[in-house]
Chain A
């Protein structure tokens, strides 16, 4: 019995018990459903063991949508709690837990996963490759991410959620001030999914550098692929820093070391520095691929080529470098002194310049273009002014001396939501809508999609613009309540209203998926948007081998050349295609990682040792395994091409 006591929740509430029941019922329902419809074999063969980048991409996106739901529920709870003064819907401890899990889930498990999911699906197609460089590792990346996400998400029903903020500052996050296992969960969930992300980074750099179609020079890559390349470079350079920081935090909490302590030579500022040295590049890991998505969409629906391709590439390269040189702006108030603050103030403001260049390039792409206001384009057009406001308030925050007023107020919260929602979230939905026919062979309903867009955009404005005002008036972030006399009440109520609209937009978007799945016509052809880049040169949905013949490329808009300028994409005859084999190892290994993390969270050393040995055994097995993949033969390819509507020329 004593053994089980550690799993109890330190600070329970009826809502948590209700969630427990709900989770239990959902799991039972899923298991029963799979068994009843005899889908276990299908699930295992086609999805759980797959190494196909397209299916992995789709699994990322599904997981990200689930996480969006979880993070969104957190958000609505927070806005509800703060909608009126002196509210008692959540107490201080629960509020702490909710804003912590909201931040982590949204950044790490939602936005990252969504972006990486789109990258998985699109990048190999855009460069005319069969798959990524290391398909097996790609599956491992996904399952490690998934294991981390699950580990993080069970914290609130087993042992208690982390409650020190997504920034997890020490000494707040140490054992004294965060005594529950929550921060252990934070550490292990981020560590495990972080390893997955690092592997993704390596994988995609190798893919983009080595597997481009013949003729596709670096400067002839579609813009989304460019942003993916740079993003993955940032991943490879930023994530190891997080790895070390989290390792130090784990050692401090679980082995009583002195990294972030305030005695015995420890330094709590070390965490802040390491965290933000990863954390600032992290926000660019999210936004750069979003920029890539907008570039594709704006060019397609303005029916023009992207304006200023070279300056677009140049600016993302500059942004990626600068992103490593600004981290101190997250703690101007923590005593570095005027010189340091001034330097980081200037580097921070400098980022606005390449970002501004991109904004003008998008505007100039639309200038004199023949714009079609489809759903993806609406999101892109909405993005430009809203994101610009976020950038401008960023520059306001970048003024070190003024930041003493804004720092840790709702103004800051408004700033980063103003960049992340119109920046990243809009891009995710726009990209999903745009590439949906590529993934599933039918379109999402435009009319319902537009309703979703308007609810999202108006909801966003209502939810976050009031925070700029309350922030300037002094409302601190992360406070679970405020007094009537502060006068913050009405504007916070407005925020809650906006959050409600955004929740409705999420429901509309999900409903749209359901509706379109049932009613959308299936004969949309291979080029429903009149698009420009290479991913549209193959069938919809894409056959498992992507392209029957490797395409020949002359420019960043190979498909447009083919359509309008008589460029011949596919020369030569169909040959046998070599494909990687499916494998159950990635999911098994990730399962072991999950057990490893879980055991570590609760100091169950037997579990740590057994799963640790299991992980090593998987590595050894993999090293000795002989897996040369398999071939799809010409005959089979020809039949498949016929089935998908005839071979491409």
Chain B
């Protein structure tokens, strides 16, 4: 099968192109948002008051699983875009579905992780460190949650309307969002968890 890489469907109308540019700019703003959260976190990292430190509460197992889940989902959404470009509706839907399932599993584990923190006395209120940790993780988690609903809406639209320039455009933009969340997670993984456990 030959792909026309010069003009994929998601770029095929003028408005589509503008939408994608607009979304990139939005991601710029998102980068600033997370950069602020990270910067604040680095300041609060050792300001634990009487509460626990990172070393005491971080557990590698669930975090590794979550990293694996999210990285895989980034791969599957890439496959979804590929399938979409070669106009395979079913495959697109399947890969999008898998992506969302992986995302939901990620969320489940993250919620479990938050519950453990809670039982270990690391709540939003405990210290500067826990406030900032949970705000950063929570912001990322909230983005994933939002992504799940967004993804569902897109799946619904592909089922109903097929792969059109509009739905292709939405799917592509959604994939940008999802990749972005993955990148943010890599940062969280390296600079919050690994750094904290070292």
Contacts from A to B (Cβ < 8 Å): 133-134, 198, 201-203, 205-206, 209-211, 236-241, 243-245, 247-248, 251, 255-259, 261, 263-267, 270, 274, 616, 620, 623-624
Contact = CB atoms under 8 A, between A and B. Distances in A.
Contacts of A264: 49-51, 126-128
Nearest to A623: B153
Contact of B124 (A133, A202, A203, A251): A251
A258 B128 contact: yes
User: A-side binding surface: helix, strand, loop or mixed?
Assistant: helix
B153 A620 contact: yes
A247 B49 CA distance: 21
Q: 10 tightest A-B contacts by CB? A: A265-B128, A265-B47, A264-B49, A240-B33, A265-B49, A240-B32, A257-B131, A265-B127, A206-B22, A244-B36
Interface string B129-146: 111100100000000000
Contact of A206 (B18, B49, B129, B170): B18
Chain B at the A interface: mostly helix, strand, loop or mixed? helix
Contacts of B47: 265-267
Interface size class of B (residues with CB under 8 A): 35 or more
B88 interface: no
B22 A133 contact: yes
Contact of A210 (B17, B26, B124): B17
B21 A206 contact: yes
Contacts of B21: 133, 206, 209-210
A259 B29 CA distance: 22
A69 to B, nearest CB: 32
A237 B36 CA distance: 11
B125 interface: yes
Contacts of A620: 149, 153
Contacts of B67: none
Contact of A259 (B28, B33, B128, B149): B128
Given A205-B25, A241-B33, A266-B131, 7 more contacts: A206-B25, A236-B28, A237-B29, A274-B40, A616-B149, A623-B150, A623-B157
A243 B21 CA distance: 23
Interface of B: 17-18, 21-22, 25-26, 28-30, 32-33, 36-37, 40, 43-44, 47-51, 124-132, 135, 149-150, 153-154, 156-157, 170
Nearest to B28: A236
Contacts of A205: 25
A211 B17 CA distance: 11
Contacts of B124: 251, 255, 257
Most chain B CB neighbours (cut-off 10 Å) among A203, A206, A209:
A206
Contact of B51 (A248, A255, A261, A265): A265
Nearest to A266: B128
Nearest to A133: B18
24 contacts: A198-B29, A206-B18, A206-B25, A236-B28, A237-B29, A241-B33, A241-B36, A244-B33, A244-B36, A244-B40, A247-B135, A251-B135, A257-B125, A258-B131, A259-B131, A264-B126, A264-B127, A264-B128, A265-B127, A266-B47, A267-B47, A616-B149, A623-B170, A624-B153
Contacts of B153: 620, 623-624
Contacts of A248: 40, 131, 135
Contact of A274 (B30, B36, B126, B135): B36
A452 B144 CA distance: 54
A624 B126 CA distance: 42
B126 A258 contact: yes
B29 A258 contact: no
A202 B128 CA distance: 33
B129 A265 contact: yes
B37 A244 contact: yes
A205 B25 CA distance: 8
Contacts of A202: 22, 25-26, 29
Given A244-B33, A258-B125, A134 B22 contact: yes
Contacts of A624: 153, 156-157
A236 B153 CA distance: 27
Contacts of A257: 124-125, 131, 135
B18 A267 contact: no
Given A206-B21, A244-B33, A237 B28 contact: yes
Contacts of A211: 18
A259 B49 CA distance: 12
A203 B19 CA distance: 10
A266 B43 CA distance: 10
A198 B49 CA distance: 35
Given A237-B29, A240-B36, A247-B135, A265 B18 contact: no
Nearest to A263: B49
B32 A236 contact: yes
Contacts of B51: 264-265
A237 B26 CA distance: 10
Nearest to A244: B36
A110 to B, nearest CB: 24
B196 to A, nearest CB: 15
A270 B18 contact: no
B118 to A, nearest CB: 14
Contacts of B17: 210
Nearest to B153: A623
A239 B131 contact: no
